[in-house]
Amino acid sequence: MTHPPLSVLDGVPGKCLTLAAATRSTAISHLAPTDPSPTGTPFPTGTIRRSAPRWLIYAGIAPFTLLLAPGVLLATESGYQPTSIEFCTPIEFILFAATLLGVALLHNHTLAVALTGLATITAFKFVFTGFATGPGWEGFLTHLSHEWVMLINLLGLLTGFALLARHFEGSRIPEILPRFLPGGWLGGFVLLAIIFVLSSFLDNIAAALIGGTIAAVVFHYRVHIGFLAAIVAASNAGGSGSVVGDTTTTMMWISGVAPSDVIHAYVAAFTALVIFGIPAAIQQQRLQPVIRDVPASTRVDWTRVGIVALILLVAVGTNVLVNLHLKERADQFPFLGVAVWFVLLATQGIRKPEWSLLPETLKGSVFLLSLVLCASMMPVERLPPASWYSAMTLGFVSAVFDNIPLTALALKQGGFDWGMLAYAVGFGGSMIWFGSSAGVALSNLYPQAKSVGAWLTSGWHVTLAYVIGFLVLLLTLGWQPHQPQKPALDDPLPGHASLTRPSTPLAAGPLGLALEGCAT
């Protein structure tokens, strides 16, 4: 069935959106040979250095502006009449895809691209469609009121755990760790296994930063990008079967999913660890083996170790306390981020954090928050019917789309195998460096990781591990759908707005973000 065109003024989401664009009274196709496509700017395929010419930076940002410009420009000329142009995919998705493309190609200017994309998407919704919570400033501010707790929590964790990682490095534990790591490539694999275990009870950001800090010391700061991808994958996989190991599994727990319905995700996660861990360890061994020469005079700073342990204990305790006893207030205050920073400030008289890290860490944090806020404004209101194929697809989607709203939609819909879904949305973000908060946090330590091409080519084993791990889980335990034990909350995760607009499905198919509206 084909939906009739909708006027922009209607502002009805979930169907084809019609923009009033000015064209000549002749067919639009008459102009096609002479008018360049607004998205037709060619991008180089090689690595872009910091000395990239200014025109290349503008070329990456231009599609956001040019996408809306033709109608405005043509309308200024006499002899043009307004004609309806029907877009069957919501414009927000096109703008978001252009943002991700710009991040992938202009990896030395990711913050500028992300902020430009956020500004463009926000402006588009102001002018044309409105927000899920209403039009104009009222809708925008209401949307932010739902999101601010999650954003502040993420900001607090990203910056706080960056300072924690430097405390950990200053404790000199990473310097003595080579005494206990096996020789050869097995040493790198054991390090990944340690990160995996840490992530089962710590936040994946903390696990990734601790792992990255250890790798910097034991490999003398010569870390292969494939191994960096493996660190992120280990930190995401380790929390996929634990209700306190990842934000998405905690959401499931809050909504009534039993921990026993999630834990079998470790069948896929352990499989994936072997699949990506061994190749990554071999890559690292070839580039830089573990340095085993530890000076005898090296002494551990146990005070810093105590500060690190205190921060982690407070973070875990706050997470459990809020989820068990303060769920009704969790969307009103960023408890987790504040708890981490409270300990950092309270202990600065004992060991001063390295505040000089904050400016660069803030840049990476603002980049991630921009993408998360962009994703929160996408018009996705429902998922495909629950099946193993749709769960697997969501893993690929989570590589470029925030997995938190995806999990919230799955909890509302019900009928998923929660362990399989937890593995998919948790581990899937490892396939691209900005697909998870752990990847963004680690890239702040290793700027060379901010290249989608290098991440995909050097970290090929992460994508392979995701697929093999998923299939092993499917073939051994099968598809085990469970309904939530209690009705899913309207807002399962504090800080995420409930999605109440007319139903628009996320299409089944790898990375398929096509929306219902053209023909069914």
Greatest mean pLDDT among 99-103, 206-210, 342-346 lies in 342-346
Q: What angle do CA 429, 431, 435 make, to 5 degrees?
A: 40
Q: Rounded to an integer, what is the distance from CA 243 to the centroid of its chain? A: 19
10 Å Cβ neighbour count for 46?
6
Q: Judge whether residue 202 has pLDDT over 60.
A: yes
Q: What single-letter amino acid sits at 239? A: G
Top pLDDT among 486 and 104 is at 104
Token pair of 240 as six digits? 């996929």
Is residue 69 very low, low, confident or very high in pLDDT (cuts 50, 70, 90)?
very low
Distance CA 138, CA 169 (A): 46
Greatest mean pLDDT among 77-81, 95-99, 515-519 lies in 95-99
Report the predicted TM-score, pTM, of the whole model to 2 decimal places.
0.70
Distance CA 515, CA 518 (A): 8
First to last CA, the chain: 5
pLDDT (0 to 100) of residue 483: 63
Nearest to 397 by CA among 369, 436, 366, 368: 436
Top pLDDT among 29 and 381 is at 381
Quick one: CA dihedral 6, 12, 16, 22, positive or negative? positive
* Burial status of residue 29 (CB atoms within 10 A of its CB: 0-12, 13-18, 19 or more): exposed
Q: Judge whether residue 33 has pLDDT over 80.
A: no
Distance CA 517, CA 515 (A): 6
Q: What is the pLDDT of residues 431-461, one digit of tens each?
A: 999 888 889 889 888 988 988 899 999 999 9
pLDDT (0 to 100) of residue 478: 93
Percent of the chain scoring above 90 in pLDDT = 33
Is residue 396 very low, low, confident or very high in pLDDT (cuts 50, 70, 90)?
very high
Beta bridge partners of residue 505, listed in sequence order: 382
Mean pLDDT of 382-402: 86
pLDDT (0 to 100) of residue 65: 44
Q: How far is CA 369 from each of CA 334, 372, 426, rounded to the nearest angstrom?
A: 15, 5, 18
Nearest to 419 by CA among 274, 195, 245: 245
Mean pLDDT of 180-187: 89
Q: Residue 78 has what DSSP assignment?
A: T
Q: What is the pLDDT of residues 254-276, one digit of tens each?
A: 667 888 899 999 999 999 999 99
Indicate the average pLDDT of the chain: 76
Q: How far is CA 179 from each of CA 76, 186, 188, 292, 507, rounded to the nearest angstrom?
A: 73, 14, 13, 6, 51
Cα-trace Rg, the chain: 24
Distance CA 121, CA 116 (A): 9
Q: What is the pLDDT of residues 231-260, one digit of tens each?
A: 999 999 998 998 877 878 877 876 678 888
Q: Judge whether residue 491 has pLDDT over 80.
A: no
Q: What is the pLDDT of residues 323-346, one digit of tens each?
A: 778 877 877 888 888 999 999 999
Q: Judge whether residue 8 has pLDDT over 50.
A: no
Percent of the chain scoring above 70 in pLDDT = 75
Top pLDDT among 164 and 27 is at 164
Greatest mean pLDDT among 158-162, 203-207, 347-351 lies in 347-351
Top pLDDT among 164 and 18 is at 164
Domain boundaries, the chain: 8-129, 142-477
Distance CA 324, CA 269 (A): 26
Is residue 382 very low, low, confident or very high in pLDDT (cuts 50, 70, 90)?
low
